[in-house]
Amino acid sequence: MFESILIVLVSYVIGAVPVAYLTARLLRGVDLRQYGSKNIGASNIFQAVSKAAVVPVGLAEIGQGMLGILIAKMADQDLSVQVAAGLAAIAGHNWSPFLRFSGGRGVAHAIGFMLVLWWPALGAFIGVALVGVARKAVPQFVLFAVLVTPFAAIVADQSLEIVAGLFAMAALLITKRLLTNDPSIPEGHVARDVLLSRLLYDRDTRERDEWVRRGIEHE
């Protein structure tokens, strides 16, 4: 039991290391929480810091989502512990104690989670997300892709641990969409409209360019 808890805690700490934040500090000396979407993840690195850095940052974050699960596998832990370790890494990234419990959206870490635990879920996720890229509706289709994965596991008759883990993964990602790093409702806005926009568009407003370029043009 102690070893299982330790592995989950280690996975949380691994996921909580803010790779994108540290990269922005190193490359431009900026606090990523004050630029662009203010999201601590590879997408905001792309918009606010360096397009070239998005690949290594994204791969590092995927690796963070994988590492705790791999440690649990090597320690011959049950599937439930492996799932818990992967979820802990996502939660650590989304609410990092190193950044006063702010963080990213957890999508890259979720990719690592799916890749190790049940890769067909990742295939379903990517397939749906690519439709969003083609239709220029990425936030909406990423949301749909996240919701599809547990049902794909049910159809494939996967274990309860995998199905529950994918539902929990979806809950973590959707919760972070709704709460963001600043859950307060902007002055002059209706809470219902802001929450709906966060859910569907992953931002407080439907105007994407204005949102992701905040504070950048004036640099």
pLDDT in tens, 116-128: 999 999 999 999 9
Cα torsion 118, 123, 125, 131 to 10°: value is: 180
pLDDT, residue 155, reads 97
pLDDT, residue 39, reads 86
pLDDT, residue 218, reads 45
Rounded Cα gap, residues 87 and 188, in angstroms: 36
Q: Which residues of the chain have pLDDT under 70?
A: 207-219
Rounded Cα gap, residues 27 and 200, in angstroms: 32
pTM for this predicted structure: 0.92
pLDDT, residue 54, reads 92
Q: Is-contact 44 57, C-beta < 8 A?
A: no
pLDDT, residue 217, reads 52
Residue among 147, 13, 179, 200 at smallest CA distance from 88 = 13
> Where do the domains of the chain lie?
2-212
Instruction: State which H helix or E strand residue 53 sits in.
Output: none
Per residue in 28-42, pLDDT (tens digit) is: 888 888 877 788 988
